Chains A and B, each alone.
Chain A
Amino acid sequence: MENDKSLLKVEDLKTYFYSKEGTVKAVDGVNFSINRGETLGIAGESGCGKSVTAQSILRLTPKNGRIENGRILLRTDEKTVDLVSLKASGDEIRKIRGKKISIIFQEPMTSFSMVHTIGSQIIEVIRLHQGCTRKEARDRTLELLNMVGLSAEQAIDAYPFSLSGGMRQRAMIAMSLSCMPSLLIADEPTTAVDVTIQAQVLKLLRRIQKEKQMALIMITHDLAVLSELCDKVMIMYLGKDVEHAPTKELFSNPKHPYTKGLLNSVPKLHQGPRQKIEAIKGTVPSPYALPTGCSFHPRCPDFIPGLCDKEIPKLFDVDENHKVSCFLYQ
Chain B
Amino acid sequence: MLRFILHRILWMIPTLLFISILSFIIIEAPPGDFMTTYVSRLREQGEDMGQVTIDGLRARYGLDQPIYVKYFKWIRGVVQGDFGQSLEWQRPVADLLRARLPWSILISLSSLLFVYLIAIPIGVYSATHLYSKLDYFFNLVGFIGLAIPNFLFALIMLWFIFQRTGNAAIGLFSREFLMAPWSFARVIDLFKHLWLPALVIGTAGTAGMIRIMRANLLDELSKAYVMVARAKGLSERKVLYKYPFRIALNPVVSTIGWTLPALFSGEVLVSIVLGIPTIAPIFLGSLMGQDMFLAGSIVFIMATLTVIGTLISDILLGWLDPRIRESI
Using a CB–CB cutoff of 8 Å, the interface residues on chain A facing chain B are: 55, 58, 60, 89, 94-99, 102-103, 105-107, 110-116, 124-125, 128-129, 159, 161-162, 175
Q: Are B322 and A115 in contact (CB under 8 A)?
A: yes
| A327–B301 CA distance with the chains assembled, in angstroms | 83
- Closest Cβ of chain B to A168, distance in Å, is 11
A113 is contacted by which of B229, B231, B236, B326 (Cβ under 8 Å)?
B229
B246 is contacted by which of A115, A161, A162 (Cβ under 8 Å)?
A115
Q: Are A111 and B323 in contact (CB under 8 A)?
A: no
Q: Are A58 and B236 in contact (CB under 8 A)?
A: no
Chain B 221-256 interface mask (CB, 8 Å, partner A; 1/0)? 001110111111111100000110011000000000
| A99–B246 CA distance with the chains assembled, in angstroms | 26
Number of interface residues of B (CB under 8 A): 22
- Chain B residues within 8 Å of A159, by CB: 322-323, 326
| A60–B236 CA distance with the chains assembled, in angstroms | 12
A128-B227 contact given A114-B323, A161-B323, CB 8 Å threshold: no
Q: Are B247 and A111 in contact (CB under 8 A)?
A: no
Q: Are A89 and B224 in contact (CB under 8 A)?
A: no
Q: Are B236 and A98 in contact (CB under 8 A)?
A: no
| A98–B234 CA distance with the chains assembled, in angstroms | 9
- Chain B residues within 8 Å of A106, by CB: 224
Chain A residue nearest in CB terms to B229: A113
A94 is contacted by which of B227, B228, B234, B326 (Cβ under 8 Å)?
B234
- Closest Cβ of chain B to A65, distance in Å, is 12
| A107–B224 CA distance with the chains assembled, in angstroms | 7
Since A107-B224, A111-B228 are in contact, a sample of 20 more A-B pairs with Cβ atoms closer than 8 Å, ordered by chain A residue number, is: A60-B227, A60-B230, A89-B230, A89-B235, A98-B232, A98-B233, A105-B227, A110-B223, A111-B225, A113-B229, A113-B242, A114-B321, A115-B320, A115-B323, A116-B243, A124-B234, A128-B234, A159-B323, A162-B326, A175-B232
Q: Are A128 and B243 in contact (CB under 8 A)?
A: no
Chain B residue nearest in CB terms to A128: B233
- Chain A residues within 8 Å of B322, by CB: 114-115, 159, 161
Q: Are B321 and A115 in contact (CB under 8 A)?
A: yes
